Amino acid sequence: MNVLVTGGGGFLGRAIVTRLRARGDQVATLSRGRYPELAALDVEEFRGDILDQVLLQRAVQGRDAVIHTAAKAGFWGPTAEYWRVNVQGTQALLAACRQAGVPRLILTSSPSVVFDGRDLEGADESLPYPRTYSAPYPASKAEAERLVLEANDARLATVSLRPHLIWGPGDPHFLPRLVARSRLGRLRQVGRSPKLVDCIYVDNAADAHLLALDRLNPGARIAGRAYFLSQGEPIPIFELINRILLAADAPPVTRTIPTWFAKLSGTVLESCYLWLGLTREPPMTRFLARELSSSHWFSIDAARRDLARL
């Protein structure tokens, strides 16, 4: 196939590009930065803003499919910027795909689009979107997912994949921040009861995107649907964190704070940072406190059924 990967220089995007090239697909990427490793893979690179309509039209022209991994992630930041990149960027990409006649679009979404702060244990894709969100990232990703799934029709087949806690070599976000906080002594377990969470290795998340790509066509079983992705083996969240820290030769998490204190700290710190006009991320936010103090693991039966190898 001839595939465009938005965010192709990112952690997951680069793994997807590598696999596409390994099996002989023609690949182009759309990213803001320059990535020499992509050039080494003989990838056509488009650099710029995802809201640049001229650039988008050039990037999607002649493609058999688009895999949309580009997004603004994180627990903190201006709502307008999340909306601009995650929602308006997705709208612009959908419009460009329609104009160019691209028949397939795969969105990299997130399980956080259905997270309401309560325990989610074995939940499946029938779980509705919550009415409110505690951070702009899940809110904007949920809106982007709605746009993509509603766009599915006889001319443009769409699907949304929800990988949970992607980890692996080359991770520029989750692992480095975790290790840095550990070495500064700033990590605490939230609550005393073990809370199970899902995770997925980056190569497995990339493989799932290729499986979806090979099965996605207008009218296909997976068209217009969302799928949770994980290793299928939920693990207590702080056991997962300590395994990662052990591999990085960083101190484990040994101290605990009450759940109520973490949630209160998140609320107070967010208010203080906003009042003071601070742009850096607070050490605790409402969203992070809820993530660390609740179970969130999901059934992947639908993905196993519909994305399984033929």
- DSSP, collapsed to helix, strand or coil, labels residue 150 as helix
pLDDT higher than threshold 80 for residue 174: no
Per-residue pLDDT tens digits for 147-164: 999 999 999 999 999 999
What is the CA angle 282-167-33, rounded to 5?
75
> Between residues 109 and 288, which one has the greater pLDDT?
109
Task: Give 156's Cβ-side CA count (13 Å radius).
Answer: 23
Per-residue pLDDT tens digits for 79-111: 899 999 999 999 999 999 999 999 999 999 999
Per-residue pLDDT tens digits for 185-199: 888 888 888 889 999
pLDDT of residue 17: 97
pLDDT higher than threshold 80 for residue 309: no
- DSSP, collapsed to helix, strand or coil, labels residue 297 as strand
Q: How far apart are CA 64 and CA 58, in angstroms?
A: 14
Beta bridge partner(s), residue 161: 108, 227
pLDDT of residue 310: 43
Return the CATH superfamily for domain 2-167+198-230+295-306: NAD(P)-binding Rossmann-like Domain (3.40.50.720)
- DSSP, collapsed to helix, strand or coil, labels residue 203 as helix
E-assigned strand segments in 16-156: 26-31, 44-47, 65-68, 104-108, 120-123
Taking all residues of the chain, what is their mean pLDDT, rounded to a whole number?
91
Q: Is 129 a catalytic residue?
A: no
Least confident of 21-25, 61-65, 88-92, 240-244: 240-244
**Domain locations in the chain as residue ranges:** 2-167+198-230+295-306
pLDDT higher than threshold 90 for residue 279: no
Task: Give 115's Cβ-side CA count (13 Å radius).
Answer: 32
Task: Give 159's Cβ-side CA count (13 Å radius).
Answer: 30
Q: By C-alpha distance, which of 81, 155, 77, 145 is closest to 114?
A: 145
Average pLDDT over residues 155-175: 89
Indicate the burial class of 103 (C-beta count within 10 angstroms; 0-12, 13-18, 19 or more).
Answer: middle
Catalytic residue among 137, 201, 227, 273: 137
pLDDT higher than threshold 90 for residue 277: no
pLDDT higher than threshold 90 for residue 184: no
pLDDT higher than threshold 90 for residue 18: yes
296 and 118 in contact (C-beta within 8 Å)? no
Tokens at residue 166, please?
Answer: 């992607």
Q: How far apart are CA 296 and CA 285, in angstroms?
A: 18
294 and 88 in contact (C-beta within 8 Å)? no
pLDDT higher than threshold 90 for residue 270: no
Tokens at residue 53, please?
Answer: 């309509």
> Between residues 263 and 110, which one has the greater pLDDT?
110
